Structures are given as C-alpha cells and as structure tokens.
Amino acid sequence: MESLLFIEDDDGIRLALSLALEDEGYSVREAANGTDGLAAFDQGGIDLVLLDLRLPDMSGFEVCRALRSKSIVPIIIITAQTDTVDMVAGLEAGADDYVTKPVVPKELAARIRSLLRRVHLHDSSPTAQASMFGDVELRRQQGIVLKAGNEINLTKTEFRLLCEFADHAGAVLSRDQLLERVWGYEYLGDSRLVDAHVRRLRMKIEDHPDDPQLIVTVRGVGYRLIA
C-alpha cells in the first residue's frame, strides 16, 4: 500500500480528503502544519506528499523547498483557484503538480495515480545508453545526470522531462506533447506546468539559465533540445 503525507491545516478538508484517498487504497498520514509535516516525512516511508500552501506556522513554499532539499518524492501542491502566482511559485519551489480548491477527490486521486505510475515506470525502465549534450551527461541506467562531471539533483519529473528531450534531440516538442508524455493525458491544456519545470531544469543544467543554449524556446510552439 502506497503511503501519502497530507499537510493541511483545515481539519475538515484534511479529514474528508484523507478518507476519500483511503477509499482509493492509499495509506494517509496527516499533519496540520509545516513543522509536524516535515517531522512526519522524516519518519520515512512516504511515497507522495500533498501540500497546502497556506499553513499556520510556515509557508507551504518553505515546506516544499525543505522537502526538495532532502528528497525527490513527488509533491502535489494545493492552492486557491485564483492564486496563479502562488501556483507557479509552488511549482518553481519544487512541486511536481498542483490542484485547486475546492479539491475534487476523484480528480486528485487520478493525479496521484498518474504521478506514482510514472515514478514506477522510471524506476523499472530498461537500461539505455548515456546521452551527452554540451557538458551534460544523462545516465538513464543509473538514473543520474552529470554536469561537467558533477552529479546534479533532479526530481523524477525533471528527470523524465530531460529524458523526453533527449529522446527527441533537435526536434521541437510542443507543450501539449510534453504534458501528455511526462504528466499524462489528464493534464492536457495547462502549459504553465511545463513552463515552470523547464525553468527549473534550465536552472540546473544551463550555464546561463536566462540565455539557454541547451533547451531553447521555440516561440509559439514549445521547446527544443540542442544536442
């Protein structure tokens, strides 16, 4: 049984969604604030984190960054429907996906399944040769990426995104194609998810992220990896 950590200060929301997710077959640990959430995560055994951005003791962004500093576990942030800025900031803090309030349990469960399925597909993927572009080396068999010989820390979503670019080096990939292949069919139509992850990936693999030479933007279409 896969274990979820749900960090949410609203008791009613936390209880209702926890029960719904347990009905979907997940084990759910709960935390009402960021401090307790980080402590619960440190106990180990968490497969995915659900994180509200509005917490009483510390911001969800701080919690997200703290989790990312120690783990590549998938993170889904929960934000108010109108908080576009918060949503983008949460993704750039390290989250893999987001849902908006009021949360629809079936939609949330579908997103969790999709993220966990892709994690398992990556973990069990067959061996493949290393790929080189610039001073970046992608070693799929080991699940690592090196820049100038030094290992860099990518989340599993960032790793899958880089693999997708490497599989189609030189070709233009639209945002919809990347959404379908990296996140799943449920996410078609939300290009902000792709843009935020490309920005994060550039911060880690580009010498000058504001003037990218590896993953370049094709205006009005998507992105292309220069091999």
- Residue whose pair of structure tokens reads 């989790």 in the numeric block: 67
C-alpha span between 179 and 101 (Å, rounded): 22
Question: pTM here?
Answer: 0.84
Q: How do residues 173-211 score in pLDDT, each as one tens digit? A: 999 899 888 887 656 567 888 999 999 999 999 999 999
C-alpha span between 98 and 100 (Å, rounded): 7
Superfamily, domain 3-116: Response regulator (3.40.50.2300)
C-alpha span between 175 and 64 (Å, rounded): 25
Q: How do residues 28-74 score in pLDDT, each as one tens digit? A: 999 999 999 999 999 999 999 999 999 999 999 999 999 999 998 99
Domains of the chain: which residue ranges?
3-116, 131-225
The β-bridge relationship of strands 27-31 and 48-52 is unpaired
The 3-state DSSP class for residue 157 equals: helix
Residue range 131-225, CATH number: 1.10.10.10
Q: How many helices and strands, by DSSP H and E, does the chain display? A: 8, 12
